[in-house]
Amino acid sequence: MPTRRPANSRRFPDRGRRRAAADAPVRRKTRSLTGSIRKPVAAGLLYPERKETLAASLRRFIPKSVSGKTKAVGLVIPHGSWNGCGPLIGEVLSSLQWPARVVVLGPTHERTAPAGCFIQTQGQWQMPGGTLKIDEPLARLILEKNPEMTADPEFLLDEYVHELPLPFLQKIGKVKKFVPVVVQTLDGAVIGRLAQALAALAQAFPDEKIYWIATTQIASYTPTEAARQQVALVMDRIRAMDSEGLIEAVFNRKIEMCGAGAVAAVLQAAQICGARAANEISSQVVGSPDAAVGMISVLFEEGQKR
C-alpha cells in the first residue's frame, strides 16, 4: 500500500513524493497520548499502518543475509519516509548483534520546544506491530546522570523521528523496550554531559548490550551537488570522531543537519568508550536536482575500553 498523502498541504507543500520522503513535518493527529500509552503519529504517513503491508515493507528493506555481525556501541541512521531511508535503516540494524537494549535520540520539529534535552521515563508506545514499553531503569540512569535533562514526554508526543526505526527494531532485534530522548541543543557542554551519561550505561549494565541510536537528515531541499558536499563533510567529521568540528560546521552553516545534537552526543559517547566509526559509511542523496536531501548510516564499533 503506498504511503498516503496527508491532507494538511501547509505542512506538506506539494513538491511530489520527495517532500514526504524526506524530513517533512507529520500532520498532527489528535493528541497521541492516551493515559500512559503513546499512539503512533507517522503510521500511514511515512511508513505502512496495516500489519500486512508493514510486514511486506520490512521484508523488502531488511537484507535476507548479512556476512557478519558488528560489535558496536552506537549508530547513526537517517529519518524520513521509509521509501527513502528504509534500506539504510534495515541494512545497518541487520548488521548488529542482538538482543540489546536501545536508546533512540533525535530532534523535535515542535517549533515551541525550548533548547535542551528531554526524556520519557515511563509509559508505552503503541505501534502497528505491537506495543513497546519504556525501559525505565535505563531512562532513570540517563536522567540521574543529566541534571539538566527534563523528564517530560511533551515533545515526543507528535514527533516522528524516534518512531520510524521502531518496527525495524521489533522485527530485527525483537526489541520490547526502549528509551526515547529529544536532543534540541548544540551546546557543547550539554551534549558532553549527555554523552557521559550514555557511556555510563555500559558500566552500569556490563553484561548487556546497549545501543545508542541517533537519527538525522542532512541538507534538506538543497541542490544535489551542495547536498553531496554537506554529506561528505559530515562523514569526514564522523570518521575523525570530531563532534566539536561537526557542531562548529553546523553553527557556521556549512552543514544543514536535522538531529546534529543527537549525532554529536552519540559520537562523543562512542569516543568515551573507545569506539571508532566503521570504515564503511553508507550514504545517499535523493530528490530532484534542485531539492535534494542527504542520508547516512554509521556504526561505531567497539574499541579496547568497552
**Per-residue confidence at 6, pLDDT binned at 50, 70, 90?**
very low
CB 140 within 8 A of CB 193: no
- Whole-number pLDDT of residue 35: 52
pLDDT per position as a tens digit, 97-106:
999 999 999 9
0.85 exceeded by the pTM? Answer: yes
Domain ranges of the chain: 36-301
C-alpha cell, 163 = 518512531
- Whole-number pLDDT of residue 56: 97
pLDDT per position as a tens digit, 170-225:
999 999 999 999 999 999 999 999 999 999 998 899 999 999 999 999 998 899 99
CB 142 within 8 A of CB 150: no
- Whole-number pLDDT of residue 66: 75
> Is 71 strand, coil or helix?
coil
Max Cα–Cα distance, the chain, nearest Å: 51
Report the chain's mean pLDDT, rounded to a whole number.
Answer: 87
d(CA 157, CA 182): 11
**Burial of 150 from C-beta contacts in 10 A (0-12 / 13-18 / 19+):** middle
Domain 36-301 has CATH 3.40.830.10: yes
Q: Which helix (H) or strand (E) holds 92?
A: helix 82-94
DSSP bridge partners of 54:
none
pLDDT per position as a tens digit, 243-258:
999 999 998 888 899 9
Quick check: 299 pLDDT over 60? Answer: yes
Buried b (16+ CB within 10 A) or exposed e, 90-123: bbbbbbbeeeebbbbbbbbbbeeeeebbbbbbeb
pLDDT per position as a tens digit, 15-28:
333 333 334 444 44
d(CA 292, CA 24): 13
Mean per-residue pLDDT for 74-96?
Answer: 95
Quick check: 3 pLDDT over 60? Answer: no
Mean per-residue pLDDT for 84-94?
Answer: 94
